[in-house]
Structures are given as structure tokens and as C-alpha cells.
Structure 1
């Protein structure tokens, strides 16, 4: 398959310290209004925050940064600003009260809309006034002795519970919409009532409750730490200046060396970019940059914005489909040959293997222990991934003696003594299931190899890179 390689320099346009300080000042400017807001939901919506959950959530279920510090400030107080990802955040405990951990309820939803089974879109089925009147009628009928299960089947539009009598068991706080949540967690077992939500009107009965905790309503407001126009301008100008100096291979390398010396910005390499790819090693995803690389010629310099970086790249390699070029093959083979030669030199230095101690003296290395090696599984912490050493270690002929020949591995030369070989029992091993899994893995591998062979033999031209 065709591939191309590039050298590139990335100029950082991410937010800097001044941008972080500005974001902190922006959030502090909102603190007074956030503190005095009477209707928290409405206030947050004016600030573009539409994710406020206006219901009580058990403290055990709250999972946010700085949770313990937020809960310690108490009701009506604000914690922050604090860092949460790429934002400065303020948190305010709006209210708190005791509540159970989980609840079991049953309900009948008189919905105002219902999902289309084919498109999933909500289709209006009745207006709000009609839904309220019907919900009150259902509640009255049940109080007068009507069978609940029959009423669920006849009237409920909640497809998630209609087949089990409208029951939801072990419901944790924060899972249902706020009004529904606060009714089932704020009332005692046996309570019944009609509750309005965005879905319509629910007739609800609380069947049981478990555990106890403190529930909280917490509001959050944040401001992102964003790069200022000045930060972006400086990075863009630096990239533009570099691109003007780096117009070919020679000037690119010279400009990159100068930049590294003066600014500490290093040149990077991304190899073997496929024509339909988008991922660039060290940068992330940019389909635009890859397309630019394939529209350029060898030695061309291109510029592109990739995420938070302005990138100037030089096309260093163009590989056409077919036999690998000698230069490319050399890059892959040369390290293997060098390691092989090093292994020969080390082996000759060891000489005839007699004991581990003699080999250690010859190499000026300590004797190390690799315990609990596995024939299949994770590499040893001490040994790493060394298949030849593992294979020799599990040869029963080598038990209780030093292996007579040094072993040239992937990371070095090893002189090995096998102290013992044992078995580890596997708890609840299922041999039949293991065989099935191995068979499926082998089958998938065979299918992949077959498809790969067909793909390589095909003469179809892949032009997808031209269209996206």
C-alpha cells in the first residue's frame, strides 16, 4: 500500500498561564450573581449551562472533582474556583436533606408524546390538560379498587416498565428526571401521587426503600480555559515565519536546528501515513494534513492547523505500492543485524558456559532471578519479552542445570539456569470453553488472512482518499 512520511514542527497554541489566569478572573466575576440567584436553573440557563440537575442526589453517588471539599462548605455556600479538566468551576450546595439509598416504585405514565418505533422521534399523542385529567382519573380509579396491573397495560406509555406492572426496583437517586426523583426519595413508603415531568403525568406508588444517606442539590458553573487571540497569534506568526525559512529539505533541517537551539522546540517525525489515514504520530488526528501530504511532492513543505498546534511539515518519503525500497528496508533490518553482531561479540566474551557465576564475572553483571515465568501470558517483570529464553526454560531437559549455550534474545544475551518447572492450578478451569475460544480465535485469524490475500491479489484501485 502507498505510504508517505513527514518531518514536522508543531507550534503550540494551547492556553498559557495568562489565559488560565483570565479564565479564573472570568469565573470569579460570576460568583456574586451565582451566590444570589433565586432560581438556580434559570440563572444557569442564562449562562449557557443547561445541565443543572434540579433534584436531590445521594452524596454516595456524587462523583465530581473536589467532592469532599464541596460537601464540607455546607448548604448555601460556594466552593471554588477550582480546576475541573480544562475549566475553572464554582460549586454551590443549593439544598440538602436525608434520603434513602434506593427505592422500589411502580408507576403509570400518561404521556404527552410517544417514540415512533421506526424513527425514534417523539410524536405528540395528547395535550397537557388531557394528560393531567386522565392521570387524575387513573389515580381515582385505583383508590376505588381498580387493578393496578390492568391500568398499567391499558394506559401507561412507558415501554420500559409496562410489561412488569410499571415496577422499577433498586432505583438510585439521580437516575430519574428531577420531579420524579424528588417524589420517590422525598416521601415515605406507601406514598402515592400524580407527578408532572417533561414526559407527561405519572401516577406513582412508593413500594419500599433501602438504606439512608444525605442527598444534595448542587449547582455548578464553569468557564473554560481557552487560548486568547494573542496566544493564537503568537503561535501562528511563529509557524508562518518558520515556513518562510523552510522551503526545502536543507532549509527545513537548518531552520529546525536553529529553532531547537533558540526556543527548545524539537522537530518530530511521522512515518508511513496511509492515503486514507488521519492519525499523525505525536499530533493526533487530522485528515486535512494527511490529504495535504498526498497532494504534495517529495521535499514540499505544507502548513496546517492540527488541534491546538500550527504545524509545518516536510514530505520526506513517498513509498509507492509494491516492493519496499532498499533505504526503507535498511532502516528496519539494520537494527536487527547490529543486535545480532553485538550478540556474537558478547557470546565470544562469555566463552564456554560452566556456571552462572563465571558468566557474571566475565560480563561484570550480577546474577538475577526471574521467578514465576509463564509459557503463555504477560512478560516477566525482570526478563521482559524473550521467547527464546522462555522456550529453553520450559524444556525439561534443562531442569537443574545451566544451559550450555548463551541465548541471543531480543534485548540481550542470556546465560540461564533452570531451577525448576511446575504447574499452577487454574480455578474453575473450563477446558471445553477454552477450546472453543481458541477455535474461534484461529477461525477469525484464518478469515483475516484470507481477506488479506484477496485484497493483495485484487486490482481494484482505492480512491477513497480523494473524496474525504
Structure 2
């Protein structure tokens, strides 16, 4: 790298400068925060309960270990949500005096899959034995390794939290009920029907140019509806990317290098001080050694089916004969040469099957009642149907197969390798012609099988040279990024970008706990910088983006209002305000007190609507209009409404007939449905309400 070479030239001086800078940074931070005490060591607080940094990050570490592949930011956010939930719920437990007894905790453990089925805790009857479990706990407590007991106590605490939440949730659900009046309202919403005539003028008939919306109007609209447009603090960013891409000269040099590997030649060996003769790839005797000596990717002996190769080059690669070389070609950012090492016939197969199990067959579900003879008879019928109508095989499998692992995708198993399935299944799959449908018996039952495909596979030796910029090009790209950062600070982003032929990306908003930035990917460092208290609006900074280049980022604005950022709000709020303004214009055209008069003044036809209800308030060919249909249901026959501002336009309606719902004895069906809906979401709504009410201080932006 160019930067590294510059550092080496001034290594001693730079080390001293960096050391002094780091010391000054740490000292300044300690002075500013008063050391590592107080708020500087808190991740945040919920209703006055502080979250200690060390404890919080230990939990983050545990989550990362438990969930492989999760990012640190994702783990931080997960632990934060758990802590907020725990604090607000524990406050409620204390208020209502919710306490767990030993029996309740043991009840949870009995049902925990880690312990309920463990043989060492079961008695002779196969039931969970509390005494055996208590002896196990004593052994943990007396263990010479203290971490074992500590881990158990942590787990026990988690069990208690889980049990308390289950009890609290049960109490919440038990308190939720649906009245007869609510059931009646639901019944009438579904079954009261109205026929009416209407005139409408769509908002789309007014040009957007006629109804400008200012930023102040959008902010005022959100302030009137703060709950609807509530948001965590955000930062608006704009940036320019300077790609660190190889130049045409770099690509030409790499092309020349890989061409040399095709032909072979003489190269200087710095280790021996002599010239070495390099054979061409096609004539190399040891393919693996040649690849490992000349490629950026090591030799891979895996056999690959044609369908798993890049579609662009699959045909050419699969058509190679042993020893033949294909390339050079570009794939995945590499210049490549590939030589066929070997070919393996029937390396994998695709099969569709229907399993008919019988009582007593291996892994047969308890619900299986067929005898072996009955299962065979059923399978023979399905076989005949599959042969008679091959196109219906997938549907036959979905409706008849007892194999839960494949029935939902039509009975298909793909990429089956020899020996993967039981012997009779395997033998039929790899010996029968493609398309053959037959009946095979295994220990699992009877299989109606169809051989869909068999795949040959090839092994390739591939020399791959990564297409990357030379040191000279990296220097030039680095200098370009530095210059742009300087110009942007002096002239502004837009002007500097225009002068440099670069593009300023659209403004993107991020929250303190985000890690992804549209257009840049995962860039937690940029988010942390944006939320640093010392980063002021308008600040511009360059960031290195691995595998991309450099991003010169400007903190455009800070939003700590508790409402959506303006650029995000515009997408949803601006159309609403525009429709309000368009409604004012349209109303001036729709003069008159009758449908006929309004139709004449607006030039819109009188149209009928038939049998509409509030349960499905959709006006045909127009859209969702509950206000319009509700108005029509509220009018007497032959009565005309005033003008109505709907979702899609302005309306006037005249009710023709209202058909009331038939009288029923009770509303049990509706009450049961409402009960299920309200109870199902009750616990979530309660926790969300507790969270909204809580005083939360969130310092995740510093992590």
C-alpha cells in the first residue's frame, strides 16, 4: 500500500507523533469526562436504572458467542432491547407484588427442553425427577470450577425472568375481554350494506405544481400529530465516494501477467538469484502446485455440477477435456484461468417423491394409522396417478406425502449425493433413467419416486489474480480523496463535487444504533462520528471504506426533536398536505347541493356503488374510502351528503338503500374473533406502552 510505504519512510517521527496524539486524546477525554466514573461509564438509563458499561458489554459478548455471525452492533441492539424490556417489566412486577415460588421455577425447568428429556434427570418411569435434578444442582455448587456455578446462577436468573413474564402475560391476557356491544359492532360493520350514487373528483386531476408544500408546513403537520411521527434522534448525512479502482494500465498489466501463465516463460527468482523457467498452465505436471504458486486463491479439489458454475462461463468450463485450459476470463473481481482436472459422472441427483408411511414404520408420526398393506395399496394408487398425469406430481406430494421435509415443495430433494439416502431409495435414484416413475419400499414406508435429473461434476484447477489497483494508482486515488475533502471544506460539497466530476449521494438519515448506511454498507464508525457531541453540523470528514475506496462525509443536520427527520417525513407527510390543498381547489369546482349540480359543475359523472360495507370500505376502481362509505351508511335513503375529503379525491354521495344485517341471537363468532385478536397482541401492546411512557436515556451512539 502507498500509505504504508510513506509511513515506513518516516517511521520514528510518526511513531512519536502518534504516541503524543494518543496520549493527548486520552488525557483530554479523562479531563472532560471526569475520569471513568459517572455518566461516561453508562450505556444509558431506563426510568433511572443505569446500565453499566462493563456489564452491558459482557452481555453483548455472550450474545455474539451464542449467535454466530451476528455483528457487534446487532448484538448491542439486541441486549439493549432486552434490558429495556426487563426494567419496565420488573417495575410492574414490583407494583403488583409478583413473586415466584420454588414450585413455579421448578415447573419452568421441568418443561425446559435442555432438562426435561435428559436421561440423568428421569426416573424409572421416564418422568422428570426433582430429587435427581436437585442433586445435580448441588454438584454444580460444589464444583471446583466457580464459573460452572456462576453460569448456572445466570441461567437460573434467566429462567425466573422468563417465568415472571409468562405469569404477567397470562394476567394481562386474562384481563382482556370483548363485550357483546363490540361483537355487535363488528357484526354490523361486516353485514350492514349500502347502495349509493356518488360524484368524485380525484386529487390527481390537480397538478402537483399548483400545491407547493414548505418544510415549515411539514414540521407543523408532524407537531400536530407527534405520536404518529415520533422518531428517535437522527443524523442526516451526505457523502461522495472516491473509488479506489485499478486503472486501465493496472488491468493491462494484470492481463499481461496472466497471459504469461498461459504461455509460460522465464522469471527471476529473488530467493535463488537465478532465472526460473515457468511452464504454461496447460503443460504443468502438478496442477495444485502450479495454482498455489501463482494464484491469489488456493487450489480447490471440490467437484462442481454445471448448474453451480457461473452461468456466463458454465458451458465453456463444462465442455473442457482433461488438461485443457479456458481463459483468461473475468469473474468476481479476478482474472482467471481454469484447467479441467477431472470429471465425475452422476455426482448428484434431483428426485421427487411421495412417502406413504404406515404404523410402526421408522420415524412414522403418531397420527399414522395405516397398516403396511393399506399403505402399499395407497402408494400403488398414487403411482398410477403420477404416471397418468406427470404434471400433477407436485400437487400429489403436497396433499399425500408423509415426508414433512419435502411435501411443501412438491416432494423435491435436490443435490442428493450417492449414499445420502437409504439403500433402496439410493439404488433406484442412481440406476433408473431420467423421468422414470416407480415404487420403492424402505424402512420409512413406500415411496412413489420420479428421477428428475442427475448431474455430472467437474473438478477445476483455477489460477485467479485479483484485479486491484497498483501502488501508483492507490496513491493517486488517495490524493484525489484528500483533495476533495479539502475542497469540500473550502467550497461546499456540491461545488467541489461538480468541479471533480463526482456525485453527491442523496441525503440519508441514520439513528444512533444503526450500522448500515445506504450506499456504503456497514459503517458503524461513520454513525458513531455523526452522533459524537463534538461533531458539529456541516463537519466534513474522510473515511476509508474497505474494498471500495474513500467516502467524504458531511454531517448535514442533527435531528433531536423526537419527530421524523424532514427528508424521511417528506415521503409520507408531503402527499397528505398536498391532498389537503388539492381538496380546497377541487371544492371550488364542485358547486351545488345535489349530485346532478355537482356533476355538471365538475364535469364528473354520477356513478353507482352497490352493497358496500365498513368491513371492506373499498369504492370500486377508486380505492380505500372508509370516510365515504361511513357517510353513506349514516344518511337516510335519498339524502345527499356534503362534500367529503376522501383518500383519493373529493366526493359527494346520495344514499339509495341501506340493508341492515339480519338479527341474530348472539355475536359469539365475532366476540371469539375479537378476543383472539386482542388477547394475542395484548402483551406486546402493554410492553410497547410501558416503553413509550418510560424515561429512557440512550447512549448507544457512543459505542
Q: TM-score, normalised by structure 1?
A: 0.53
The reply on whether 1:95 has 2:342 as its aligned counterpart is: yes
Distance 2:418 2:256 in 1: 32
Distance 2:604 2:414 in 1: 68
Partners of 2:243 and 2:550 within 8 A in 1: yes
- Write the mapping of 1:86-235 to structure 2, written as runs, cut at 5 A: 86-96=333-343, 98-99=345-346, 101-102=348-349, 172-173=416-417, 214-235=456-477
1:391–1:64 Cα change, 3 Å: farther
Instruction: Provide the residue aligned with 1:293 in structure 2.
Output: 530
Give the one of 301, 313, 317 matched to 2:557: 317
1:214–1:322 Cα change, 3 Å: closer
Structure with a larger share of its residues in helix: 2
Give the one of 453, 457, 466 matched to 2:693: 457
Give the one of 37, 45, 52 matched to 2:284: 37
1:321 shift after superposition: 5.9
What do the CA deviations read for 1:203-228 (whole angstroms, capped 9, x no partner)? Answer: xxxxxxx8766543322222222233
Instruction: Provide the residue aligned with 1:278 in structure 2.
Output: 515
1:303–1:174 Cα change, 3 Å: farther
Secondary structure of the structure 2 residue equivalent to 1:29: helix
Instruction: Provide the residue aligned with 1:81 in structure 2.
Output: 328
Secondary structure of the structure 1 residue equivalent to 2:530: helix
Higher alpha-carbon deviation: 18-27 or 287-296: 18-27
Partners of 2:246 and 2:467 within 8 A in 1: yes
Instruction: Provide the residue aligned with 1:66 in structure 2.
Output: 313
Give the one of 517, 532, 542 matched to 1:303: 542
Distance 2:345 2:568 in 1: 69
What do the CA deviations read for 1:62-88 (whole angstroms, capped 9, x no partner)? Answer: 565411122234332112222222222
Give the one of 37, 50, 57 matched to 2:298: 50
1:343–1:219 Cα change, 3 Å: farther
Secondary structure of the structure 2 residue equivalent to 1:316: strand
Instruction: Provide the residue aligned with 2:14 in structure 1.
Output: none
Instruction: Provide the residue aligned with 1:147 in structure 2.
Output: none
1:271–1:455 Cα change, 3 Å: farther
The reply on whether 1:4 has 2:240 as its aligned counterpart is: no
1:438–1:233 Cα change, 3 Å: farther
Number of aligned residue pairs: give it.
330
Partners of 2:235 and 2:555 within 8 A in 1: yes
Distance 2:325 2:550 in 1: 39
Partners of 1:270 and 1:281 within 8 A in 2: no
> Which runs of 5 or more residues in structure 1 are unaligned?
104-168, 177-183, 190-209, 364-374, 398-402, 417-435
Partners of 1:305 and 1:311 within 8 A in 2: yes
Secondary structure of the structure 2 residue equivalent to 1:313: strand
Q: Which has the higher contact order (CA 8 A, sep 6+)?
A: 2
1:84–1:414 Cα change, 3 Å: farther
Partners of 1:242 and 1:255 within 8 A in 2: no
1:407 shift after superposition: 8.5
The reply on whether 1:28 has 2:267 as its aligned counterpart is: no
What do the CA deviations read for 1:325-354 (whole angstroms, capped 9, x no partner)? Answer: 999978974553233213443565577877
- Aligned-CA RMSD value: 5.2
Distance 1:442 1:340 in 2: 34
Secondary structure of the structure 1 residue equivalent to 2:481: helix
1:286 shift after superposition: 0.8
Partners of 1:59 and 1:213 within 8 A in 2: yes
Secondary structure of the structure 2 residue equivalent to 1:223: strand
Q: TM-score, normalised by structure 2?
A: 0.38
